[in-house]
């Protein structure tokens, strides 16, 4: 049981990052109804990225955290490229900002909520 819990903890940061990116894409339909990204296509993109890293590092004996970090970095790049194919040029900068904010660990959630609400 402890091994399972520890293994789950190893994958949790990657899962959180991937879910944040999906919800960034999903929220783009609020900007324009034309922007719709399905969960199924997102899962396929994620699986492709995992396979690409697995094939690339198959011969290497890299530690698990390093492989997960590589998957995360590749996934961020591929999500951006994937989404940009379907966005208007004016909305690509917004995608960059949304991804950066969603993935930022430095932003205090209380400060961010205050910024969004304004000084009421």
* Number of separate domains in the chain: 1
Residue at 74 is within a domain: yes
- Which of 96-100, 104-108, 115-119 is predicted with the least confidence, judged by mean pLDDT? 115-119
Residue at 118 is within a domain: no
Residue at 18 is within a domain: no
Residue at 81 is within a domain: yes
Token code pair at residue 77: 């790049």
Average pLDDT over residues 62-91: 92
- Which of 2-6, 13-17, 29-33, 36-40 is predicted with the least confidence, judged by mean pLDDT? 2-6
From the CB of residue 4, how many other CB atoms can be counted at a distance below 10 Å? 8
Residue at 47 is within a domain: yes
Residue at 14 is within a domain: no
Q: Kindly report the pTM of this predicted structure.
A: 0.80
- Domain span holding position 43: 38-104
Residue at 3 is within a domain: no
Secondary structure in 3-state letters for the chain: CHHHHHHHHHHHHHHHHHHHHHHHHHHHHHCCCCCCCCHHHHHHHHHHHHHHHHHHCCCCCCCHHHHHHHHHHHHHHHHHHHHHCCCCHHHHHHHHHHHHHHHCCCCCHHHHHHHHHCCC
Residue at 42 is within a domain: yes
């Amino acid at each position: 049981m402890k091994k399972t819990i520890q293994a789950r903890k190893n994958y949790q940061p990657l899962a959180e990052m991937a879910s944040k990116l999906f919800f960034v894409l999903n929220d783009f339909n609020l900007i324009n109804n034309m922007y719709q990204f399905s969960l199924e296509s997102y899962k396929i993109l994620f699986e492709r990225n995992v396979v690409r890293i697995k094939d690339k590092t198959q011969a290497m004996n890299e530690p698990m955290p390093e492989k997960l970090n590589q998957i995360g970095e590749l996934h961020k790049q591929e999500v951006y490229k994937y989404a940009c194919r379907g966005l208007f040029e004016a909305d690509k900068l917004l995608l960059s900002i949304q991804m950066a904010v969603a993935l930022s660990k430095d932003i205090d959630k209380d400060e961010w909520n205050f910024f969004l609400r304004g000084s009421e």
